[in-house]
Structure 1
Amino acid sequence: MPMHPEAERLLALLAEAGAPPFEELTVPVARTATQGFLELQGEPPGVASVVARTIPGPVGEVPVRVYTPLPGSAPGPVPVVVYFHGGGWVIGNLDVVDNPCRRLAAATGAVVVSVDYRLAPEHRYPAAFDDCYAATVWAAQHAAELGGDPTRVAVAGDSAGGNLAAAVALAARDRGGPVLVAQLLIYPVTDFDFGTESYRDNGDGYLLNKATMQWFWAHYLGALDLGDDPYACPARSNDLAGLPAAYVATSEFDPLRDEGEAYARRLAEAGVKVTAKRFDGMLHGFVWTAGAVPSGLAIFDDMAAVLRQATAG
């Protein structure tokens, strides 16, 4: 399909701004540049409260931000969604996903716990994964304290955050907990493979470049040999059975499209209940640019529907 007019306008706006790609920047400058996405997100819906706090992590305190939705029609505890921001494990923070997390809480009626995990290259793999798994364990253990239901905990994330959510779902299965009801993966990084058709077709000029992903991976892994570690690269897992229900969203004009869709197919083949949706005409990162590409806001209703189905009964 042709590119969506909203996505075309966004690319034109970014080109007019003249911002260089992340791989041409130093890490500190790239992190500062990420704040520019805040201007593209639009006004979020209201929530009952947003509370910043820290929780115990594997090597120290991990900052989180807890979003409590406005009271819904159903009384009692609500689901809990633990959210991991995108940014190639190098950039991104709680602020850049503040708007999306408010939208997620409002759409799902769930308490959302957004995790400020350690970033590469200062903290290479598995630091981010370790923080995210620890935060998920904490959220499950403290769900009642947050007004949530400990039996209805899900993980979610965008891009590299989708990678972390998928990895945490694998680890929760492998380590005997916490029990998760869903994994909501937004255009996730699932494989270390730059030879897919979507990388060939969309690897340059569509917001997320192949060179940018190579820069992210290099910072995240450093000198480590990736091997077949599924917690770094979920697609390398030999066994996807027994995982929680999955929502996998991809964008048509995104180098990550094919690996996300391949992961969704493998989940389904393993017997996992999967809802997969390609956002035709869209670019990577539309959750961070909802004010500019409002057609992408349908993703929040999608995730709400999947979470409702996963938590029914």
Structure 2
Amino acid sequence: MALDPQAAALLASLAGAPAPDYARLDAASYRAALAAGGAASAFGAGDAVAAEEDLALPGPAGALAARLYRPVAGLDGGDEALALTVFFHGGGFVACGIDTHANLCRTLAARARTLVLSVDYRLAPEARFPAAAHDALAAVRWAAAHAVQLGARPDALAVAGDSAGGNLAAVCAQQLRNEVTIAHQLLLYPVLDCAHEHPSYESFGQSYLLDAGLMRWFKHQYFDADADRACPLASPLGTESLDQVAPATIISAEYDPLRDEAERYAARLAQAGVAATLVRWPGQIHGFASMLGVFDAADAALSFGAHALHAALYR
């Protein structure tokens, strides 16, 4: 399909920006540029929720900031215990945080009728691999152990994330499969292979918002030179066995350099007998689900993902 007109308009507005010099770019400058651009503030705030509560969770190297989103009560006004979804934000393992992804979390909470626990993790290069993965694992373990304390059902837990956060959600679903019961994983255009570049890097690696050079830079920030980028904590796609991993809903974007690894992961899950729903969102670019109020596809994709979460968590 042709590029979505709303995506094309956004890309056209950015076409005159100077190309970054990745050989000289540092993480602090990248974060400052994102903040100055104000992208997150330009998008819709997401659906209304009943409450948002900031928390601090114990992590392997200190407290992890988190925010709990509680959906508005149902039509019956009941106080039924809700399911719980642990969400990890994208940003290439280098940038972003709870605030930049609040609209995604509010919308998923409201439309899936689930508590959403959005968790910050240590960012690279200050904390390189596997720091983010270890933080994510600790957060899901904590959430599972404290579900009742949070007002959630102890038997209905999901993980979710976009981009780099999708990587962390997939890592948790794999690594905790024999420890924590995870009902579902919702992965939005996830990073799943840090060891290889798939053909979509070549096809969509320039001029589609997320470019191949930026992905290489992210990985250079995240990994030390001697890190094993192919190990399961880094590259969920390369995990030898996917038996008993939680069912998945995976949303890829047609014009995304990460498209192929997301779709290959869905195929591998299906081959392992894991229920996996894959939707390639037509005409769309990486990060589109965050663009509420700007892209109609963001609203539609989050409704689709929320429906999948609800169906898995309220069987």
Shorter-chain TM-score above 0.5:
yes
- Could you list the structure 1 runs, at least 4 aligned residues long, displaced by more than 3 angstroms after superposition: 19-25
Helix, strand or coil for the counterpart of 1:145? coil
Match of 1:12 in 2: 12
Q: Does the C-alpha gap of structure 1 residues 228 and 240 become closer, same or farther in structure 2, counting only changes over 3 Å?
A: same
Name which of 197, 221, 225 aligns with 1:219: 221
Helix, strand or coil for the counterpart of 2:149? helix
Q: How do 1:47-58 residues align onto structure 2 when only pairs under 5 Å count?
A: 47-58=49-60
| CA RMSD, 1 decimal | 1.6
Distance in 1 of aligned mates of 2:307 and 2:139 = 24
Give how far 1:22 is off.
Answer: 8.2
8 Å contact from structure 1 (residues 37, 288) kept in 2: no
Give how far 1:42 is off.
Answer: 1.5
Match of 2:233 in 1: 231
Q: How do 1:111-190 residues align onto structure 2 when only pairs under 5 Å count?
A: 111-173=115-177, 176-190=178-192
Give the TM-score normalised by structure 1. Answer: 0.94
8 Å contact from structure 1 (residues 46, 106) kept in 2: yes
Distance in 2 of aligned mates of 1:156 and 1:184 = 5
The code of the aligned residue for 1:127 comes to A
The code of the aligned residue for 1:269 comes to Q
8 Å contact from structure 1 (residues 34, 96) kept in 2: no
2:83 matched to 1:79? yes
Q: How do 1:1-313 residues align onto structure 2 when only pairs under 5 Å count?
A: 1-15=1-15, 18=17, 20-21=19-20, 23=22, 25-35=25-35, 36-73=38-75, 75=78, 76-173=80-177, 176-192=178-194, 195-226=197-228, 228-313=230-315
How big is each residue's C-alpha offset from its partner over 1:252-283, in whole Å with a ceiling of 9 and x where there is no partner?
Answer: 00000000000000001101111110001000
The code of the aligned residue for 1:68 comes to R
Distance in 1 of aligned mates of 2:97 and 2:25 = 18
Give how far 1:19 is off.
Answer: 6.1
Give how far 1:73 is off.
Answer: 4.2
Give how far 1:204 is off.
Answer: 0.8
Counting aligned pairs with the same residue, the percent is: 41
How big is each residue's C-alpha offset from its partner over 1:207-257, in whole Å with a ceiling of 9 and x where there is no partner?
Answer: 001010000111111223325411111011010110111010000000000
How big is each residue's C-alpha offset from its partner over 1:44-98, in whole Å with a ceiling of 9 and x where there is no partner?
Answer: 2110111112111111111001101111247411110100000110011111101
8 Å contact from structure 1 (residues 79, 152) kept in 2: yes
Helix, strand or coil for the counterpart of 1:144? coil
8 Å contact from structure 2 (residues 289, 297) kept in 1: no
Give how far 1:27 is off.
Answer: 0.9
**Stretch of structure 1 that moved more, 39-48 or 83-92:** 39-48
8 Å contact from structure 1 (residues 22, 212) kept in 2: no
8 Å contact from structure 2 (residues 108, 302) kept in 1: yes
Q: Does the C-alpha gap of structure 1 residues 196 and 62 become closer, same or farther in structure 2, counting only changes over 3 Å?
A: same
8 Å contact from structure 1 (residues 78, 110) kept in 2: yes
Distance in 2 of aligned mates of 1:47 and 1:285 = 23
The code of the aligned residue for 1:218 comes to H
8 Å contact from structure 1 (residues 190, 234) kept in 2: yes
The code of the aligned residue for 2:296 comes to P
Q: Does the C-alpha gap of structure 1 residues 193 and 281 become closer, same or farther in structure 2, counting only changes over 3 Å?
A: farther
For structure 1, the 5+ residue unaligned runs are none
Distance in 2 of aligned mates of 1:269 and 1:290 = 34
Q: Does the C-alpha gap of structure 1 residues 126 and 266 become closer, same or farther in structure 2, counting only changes over 3 Å?
A: same
Distance in 2 of aligned mates of 1:193 and 1:293 = 32
Helix, strand or coil for the counterpart of 1:63? strand
Helix, strand or coil for the counterpart of 1:97? helix
Distance in 1 of aligned mates of 2:187 and 2:108 = 13
Aligned length: 310
**Stretch of structure 1 that moved more, 43-52 or 288-297:** 288-297
Distance in 2 of aligned mates of 1:224 and 1:115 = 28
8 Å contact from structure 2 (residues 208, 255) kept in 1: yes
The code of the aligned residue for 1:271 comes to G
Q: Does the C-alpha gap of structure 1 residues 123 and 39 become closer, same or farther in structure 2, counting only changes over 3 Å?
A: same
